[in-house]
Amino acid sequence: MTGRKLGLCAAAVGWLGVALPAAADTTLTYVSFGGSLQAAEEKAWLEPFAAANPGVEIVYDFIDYAKLKAMVESGNVTWDVVTTGNDFGLDNDAALLEPIDCAIVPCDKLQPERFPTTGYRVPQSTSGLAIGYNTTLMPAGKVPQGWADFFDTAAFPGKRVMMGDASSFPLEQALLGDGVAADQLYPLDIKRALANLESLGDDLIVTPSYQGCAEMVASGEAVMGGCWTGRLLAMAEAGQPVALQWNQGIISPGYFAIPKGAPNKDLAMKFIAWAVSAEPAAALSRYIPYGPANVDGLALVDPAIAPKLQSSYLEVSVFPDDIWYDKHRAEVATAWAEWLAGIQ
């Protein structure tokens, strides 16, 4: 819940084997998305950091970009560290954020060539979406190999499902399915993408529910779906006939940022530097199927867990161009909303 406190005053030695400097009697406000992610963040990051820093109390709050903007503009900022999606933290938001100090944060270990930043955010974890398919409904000897098969209703008969928000990359799915190479996606050809979606006709289901996407694949209502990997994995682990094709999975990282005027900016920077370092970054995957952005953290992931993480398939994954989106997000959202309204 909002305001949940994690004040622990145990050993003063951190996971890196050194004491982590912190001001005494300080409240660090950590802001993220709640739910299962919150539980994972608490176990992997918040509780260990509090334990390693006597005098630091951590309070959890829920991310709301409009609230962050209002705080900064009013000069009444109470948040210190915020977790954001790939849709926040670039040039359009620079006035709301503190620059990341790469002399403290190991920015060079965080795959900047794959996870773009203009200096106001750093990637901390990787997740995303992939093709999930119902194993009982596949043609003999076949499974989908990529988005071209998602759009091939002759080779793979049946309905497909995708999620109904533009942030779930429906246009990228459509363009990849129409033969566009991953490194040639941007600028997005919106008309071409929508035309390819139209080609599915009644075989396309668009659902407003992330959970519903995976459930439709599990039930067989759809033979395959472009769904968030965590939802698909949960279905598979529950014994449902669901498998994933990681090839051409679309990565959607989580990022850390610090609001402009954060009351504990220096401590927030140190927390981020610690959380994205190799061992804490890898630790998150023990509690939720999110991989580390830190390249050194990849080798520290439990080998039994690694096959369930998108970070294990980076070489065959698709990386959205967030800097392009920073200039064109409204255009994409409008086009998608208008198309969606037209098919309902």
Q: Give residues with Cβ within 8 angstroms of 17, minimum separation 6.
A: none
pLDDT of residue 69: 98
| pLDDT over threshold 60, residue 141 | yes
Q: First and final CA of the chain: distance in angstroms?
A: 36
Kindly report the average pLDDT of the chain as a whole number.
93
- Select from 91, 7, 89, 79 the least CA-distant residue to 49: 7
Tokens of 177: 């399915």
Contact between residue 231 and residue 187 where contact means Cβ atoms under 8 Å apart:
no
pLDDT of residue 6: 55
Residue 168's SS3 state is: helix
Whether residue 15 has pLDDT greater than 70: no
Per DSSP, what are the bridge partners of residue 167?
none
What pLDDT, in 10s, does the model give residues 89-106?
999 999 999 999 999 999
Look at residue 343 in the predicted model and tell me its pLDDT. 83
What whole-number distance in Å separates Cα of residue 62 and Cα of residue 49? Answer: 19
Looking at residue 3, its pLDDT comes to 53
283-326: pLDDT as tens digits: 999 999 999 999 999 999 999 999 999 999 999 999 999 999 99
In Å, what is the CA distance from 83 to each residue of 51, 58, 223, 233? 21, 14, 34, 23
In the chain, count of helices (H) and strands (E)?
12, 12
**Is 1 a residue whose pLDDT tops 90?**
no
Q: Give the pLDDT score at 14.
A: 39
pLDDT per position as a tens digit, 324-337 = 999 999 999 999 99
Q: How far apart are CA 205 and CA 150, in angstroms?
A: 12
Residue 4 binned pLDDT confidence (cut-offs 50, 70, 90)? low
The pLDDT assigned to 7 comes to 45
Query: Residue 193: its pLDDT value, please?
Result: 98
Instruction: Give percent of the chain with pLDDT exceeding 70.
Output: 93
- Six-digit token string for 39: 């539980």
State the Cα–Cα distance between residues 335 and 16, nearest whole angstrom.
Answer: 47
Average pLDDT over residues 16-43: 81
pLDDT of residue 8: 37
Provide the pLDDT for residue 9.
32
pLDDT, one tens digit per residue, over 184-236 is 999 999 999 999 999 999 999 999 999 999 999 999 999 999 999 999 999 99
State yes or no: pLDDT of 16 exceeds 50. Answer: no
Q: How far is CA 220 from CA 140, 160, 272, in A?
A: 16, 10, 42
